[in-house]
Every structure is written in structure tokens, then in C-alpha cells.
Structure 1
Amino acid sequence: MNEFAILATLAGVHMIALLSPGPDFALVLQNATRYGRATGLAIALGLSLSILAHTILSITGISLFVHQHPQLFMWVQVAGGSVLMYLGLSAIKGLLAATTEPAQTANDAPAVRGQKQAFWKGVLTNLFNPKALVFFISLMSTLVPASMSASGKAMAVAVVFLLSLGWFSSLAWLLSGSRVQQVLTKVAPVIDGLCALLFLLLGGAVVWQAGVFG
């Protein structure tokens, strides 16, 4: 298989993974809906840079090293699960606060204390997700051969990053459009509740799988 075919296959597989609902999608959905476009785009950038880091770590073998050392991988799982549960609890706290305060529009709401916090929330959500670590180890080891040229590997990293940034940015842009906002604002509490439940369940499952309570 030539390098162009490898890159095309990599792009297709990664795009399918991006389209699959998960914590990254939920994070963009929840925050772009409630806090607007700038916050959604900041989260999109944070998620994409974290994916870039995963890709580089996987293609250089560092992620595989972590995965092959059970104790180290366990702490990555604990950290990742804790981040997801924190997001779930934060969403519940925000939902409870919204029920006791006057209704706010997306422009009136405090944008997760600014785009900087939104950016780091995006970074941490993906970076410490052990499922993302395992996925990128599998993706890179399966589709990017060790014999691939340095320029080819650089292109592979660029393809994964640009697809991620394009998808999450487009999602944030779409969800924060004025017409979409009019609809989503009415169901924002439902979105917040479902996202909170997703974060708590995924985070709890990751921590449980780490064997902390076993």
C-alpha cells in the first residue's frame, strides 16, 4: 500500500471515530449550546491539540510504553476517569444553579469563566481519556507502518489533527448558530442532564476498570 492510500485510509477511519458520539462530542455540544460560539471553538481547539499529542505519542511509541506498564496505565485511567466525573459533577452543579437563577441567554451566561478555561477543559477531557490512548495506539500501529517515511508520518499526524479541528470547529459553529440556538436553548437543561450522566457513567466505568475498587 502506497503512502497516499495509507493516509486516505487513516483519514477515513479517524473520521468515522470522530463522528461516533462520546465525551468529546458531548463536551462541545453542552458548552457550545449553553455558552456560545467562542467557547465551543476554544473547546474544539483544546480537543484537537490533545488529539495531536495522542497521535505524536502513539507514532513515537511513548503511548505504547504507557499501555504496556499496568501500574502506569492504571494511573492514567484513574486520572481520565476523574476528569470525566468532574465534568459530570460540574454539569450537574450548573444545571442546579440554572434552576434557581433567572434564565440566561448564551450571551449572558459566564462562558465557563472564559475561553481559556474552556480550552483546557477540552485538552484534559481527551488527553486523559484512556480509551483515546488505546485507540490511537491501535490506529497508528495498524495503519502507519514503521517503514513509512518521516514525511509520510508527518502527513499522517497533520491529517489526524486537521480532521479533528475541522470537525469539532464545524460542530461548535453549527451548534452556536442563531437559529439552532433558539431551538437548543429550550432543551438546554435536557442536554446538560444527558451530558452529565454520560460523563459520570464513562468516568465511573474507567475508574472501575482501573481496578481501584477491586
Structure 2
Amino acid sequence: MHEITPFITLLTVHILALMSPGPDFALVVQNAGRYGRQTGIIIALGLSLGILLHSILSLTGASLLIREQPALFAILQAAGGCYLLWLGIGAVKGVLKQAWQKNDICSSPAPEQHLVANRKQALAKGFTTNILNPKALVFFLSLLSTLVPAGMSVTGKVTAISLLWLTSFLWFALLAWLLTGQRLQKKLQQWTPFIDGLCGLLFVSIGSMILLRLALPA
């Protein structure tokens, strides 16, 4: 019973963090709006698997070792910053290309091929976006080291990790589900260039700030 209180606090803080706008949130909004519900849910699974790995690394002490090695942590930050920057530039370039080709007839791939291609990429994109986010590493390290007592049983720690993973998947899957309702999906399709551009600028901003912070240490 004494382990219930940490679980409640852990989930409350985690849910609030999940609901705040960031790379994970933007990735679901962008891809669910463009490619549909199935791709959005696969993205959600990829993001939640990244969170699962962050949680395991934090509880096993691996994240602490990374955090205490300045060179290793800087490499992780640089990789995360570059990846977000790459995602952002790709999204913005796509919007600009679409604007230039506005008068051309869009020849999109057949639905089945389109979905297969996205299934192959969606899981990896969701996982990579989360696992390479240095803020996620610091967040889960702080969260779990503070709210999961060192003396908690192995069963308790496994339960905590499982709850974090399940909550993450359910939240992002719910977000993808809500964004792909029939009426909302039609509206989102009309706003796709705006959503892509906004998400792209968000990725570019976060990636640039990470890299700038590395280049100009306080």
C-alpha cells in the first residue's frame, strides 16, 4: 500500500508533462493529420517505446552515468538537436515545395502503398524522436530518482515503468484518434500545410536551441 502514493504522484506529473506541447506532441499532430489514424497510433507506439527505454535506463542508473559524463551527454544532445533540426527542415521544405507545385495535380501513391511506407517509418520516427530528446533523458532521470524510492521492490519498479509506458501510449494514441475523426480529419487536411509548417518550425526551434546551447555553454 505504501507504494501507491508514489505511483499516483508519478503518473500525475507524467501526464502533465505529456500534455505539454513539445516534439512528441507535434509529431503525433503532424503525422496523424496528414497520414491518418493508423499511422498516428503507430507513431504513438514508437514514442511510448522511447519513453519505456528512458524509464528503464533511468531506474538502472544508465541515464545517470550518461548525465555525469559531459562528453557523452554532449554527443547525445548534439544527436538529438541535429535530428530535430533535420525533421524541421524536412517539414518546412515540404511545405515550400508544395506551395511551388500548387498548380500541379497531386499524384499521391496508392493508399495501401502509402500506409505500408508509413508503417515502416512511423514506429522508428516516433521512437527516435523521443529517445534522442536530451530533455526526455533529464526529465525521466529526475522524475524517477525523486519519486521512485531506492528501496522500492523490483515488482514496484516494474509496475512504475509499465504504468509510464502504458500512460504514454494511451495518451498519444488517444490524441491520434481524436485528431482523425471524420469531420476533424477533413478540416485538418485543409490545414495540412499550416500544421506541417508550424510543427517544422517547432522542431527547428528546439533543435537549434539545443545546438546553440552546446556551442555557447554558460
Does TM, normalized by the shorter one, top 0.5? yes
Which residue of the partner structure matches residue 17 of structure 1? 17
Which residue of the partner structure matches residue 145 of structure 2? 141
Selected match of 1:127 from 111, 125, 131: 131
CA distance in 2 between counterparts of 1:67 and 1:163 reads 25
1:176-191 superposed matches below 5 A: 176-191=180-195
CA contact (8 A) 1:44 1:165 kept: yes
CA distance in 2 between counterparts of 1:110 and 1:94 reads 17
RMSD of aligned alpha carbons: 2.1
Q: CA deviation at 1:30?
A: 0.4
Which residue of the partner structure matches residue 91 of structure 1? 91
User: TM-score w.r.t. structure 2 length?
Assistant: 0.92
Letter in 1 for 2:126: G
Unaligned runs of 5+ in 1: none
CA contact (8 A) 1:112 1:118 kept: no
CA distance in 2 between counterparts of 1:29 and 1:79 reads 23
Q: CA deviation at 1:187?
A: 1.4
Unaligned runs of 5+ in 2: none
Which residue of the partner structure matches residue 207 of structure 2? 203
Superimposed CA distance per residue, residues 122-159 of structure 1 (whole angstroms, 9 cap, x where no aligned partner): 01101010000000000000100100111000100011
Letter in 2 for 1:9: T
Q: State the number of aligned residues.
A: 214
Q: Which moved more, 1:8-17 or 1:103-112?
A: 103-112
Sort the Cα spacing of 1:104 and 1:213 in 2 relative to 1 into closer, same or farther, 3 A.
farther
Sort the Cα spacing of 1:163 and 1:30 in 2 relative to 1 into closer, same or farther, 3 A.
same
Q: CA deviation at 1:104?
A: 7.3
CA distance in 1 between counterparts of 2:131 and 2:83 reads 10
Spell out structure 1 runs of 4+ moving beyond 4 A.
Answer: 103-109
Which residue of the partner structure matches residue 102 of structure 1? 105
CA distance in 2 between counterparts of 1:97 and 1:47 reads 28
Q: Which moved more, 1:26-35 or 1:112-121?
A: 112-121
CA distance in 2 between counterparts of 1:64 and 1:55 reads 12
Q: CA deviation at 1:174?
A: 1.1
Between the aligned residues of both structures, percent identity stands at: 51
CA distance in 2 between counterparts of 1:106 and 1:180 reads 23
Sort the Cα spacing of 1:107 and 1:141 in 2 relative to 1 into closer, same or farther, 3 A.
farther
Sort the Cα spacing of 1:107 and 1:136 in 2 relative to 1 into closer, same or farther, 3 A.
farther
CA contact (8 A) 1:32 1:176 kept: yes
